[in-house]
Amino acid sequence: MNFSKKQIHYALLGNLLGDAYLRKNINTQHWVESQHTNKQKEYVLWLEELYLSWGLKVSSRYDFEKNTNYGTFVYSQISCKLQTNRHVEHKRLYNNKGDKIFSKYVAKRINTFGLLLWFLDDGTLSIHTKENGSISRHAKLSTENFSYNCHLRIQKMFFERFNITTKIYKSKNNTFHIYFNAINFRKFYDLVRLFLKEIPKSMHYKFNMKYVVNRLESSSDNLNYNLPEQ
């Protein structure tokens, strides 16, 4: 994927909206850093290859243990050096409290590949059987860490720039997420499909367009799924 420096920057916004964050090292340089459990190690390796193909300076760490509130897990980590002004970039992505935001700058500039990276981190495709026996498909972005005003901006961005209609769903714990019905997830799929054969096989389940009930996102059936030709 031959992207210009500007397009690489706009794609990395998708990483930063998802699981990645800005890390400052001792030289006050900012890095885009992602950590995933080793269930997604293939994805981390793919990100490393992607960043290197873009000519970015990369730092990686694999197979280290990390204590969390849910126990001890083995993680892998990938970072790439930010190419833009670190102070300006931080203001575009975080508020004064250090919370992630979806700014007007990001809304205007995130590109299609950035949306794909965001969905690979935080997207979920659900296929389930309704009470009447029919099979339903919908998707969501796990955007619970963003404020409601940020969700309005995300919703506006999808509609005005990509003609994708989304809904904002409120959960029982008063957080929100972005919801795509079947028709509009198909629009999203068509938007990013040019890049789908480039993503690691372990992430194909996020784009399983067959109406096959997926019991769990991590089930072996989904992980072995091959992307359709159409």
Q: Say which CATH topology domain 120-223 has.
A: Endonuclease I-creI (3.10.28)
pLDDT at 230: 36
Q: Per-domain residue ranges for the chain?
A: 5-102, 120-223
pLDDT at 86: 61
Rounded-to-integer distance, Cα 212 and Cα 202, Å: 17
**CATH topology identical between 5-102 and 120-223:** yes
Count the alpha carbons within 13 Å of 66 in the hemisphere toward its beta carbon: 14
pLDDT at 27: 61
Rounded-to-integer distance, Cα 79 and Cα 35, Å: 9
Residues 6+ apart with CB under 8 A from 96: none
Rounded-to-integer distance, Cα 212 and Cα 198, Å: 23
CA distances from 44 to 59, 90, 108, 119 (A): 12, 23, 27, 15
pLDDT at 212: 66
> pTM for the whole thing?
0.88
CATH number of 5-102: 3.10.28
Q: Which of 149, 151, 22, 24 has its CA nearest to residue 94?
A: 22
Q: What is the DSSP letter of 1?
A: -
Segments in the chain below pLDDT 70: 25-28, 84-87, 211-212, 214-230
Residues 6+ apart with CB under 8 A from 228: 209, 210
Cβ 164 vs Cβ 158: under 8 Å = yes
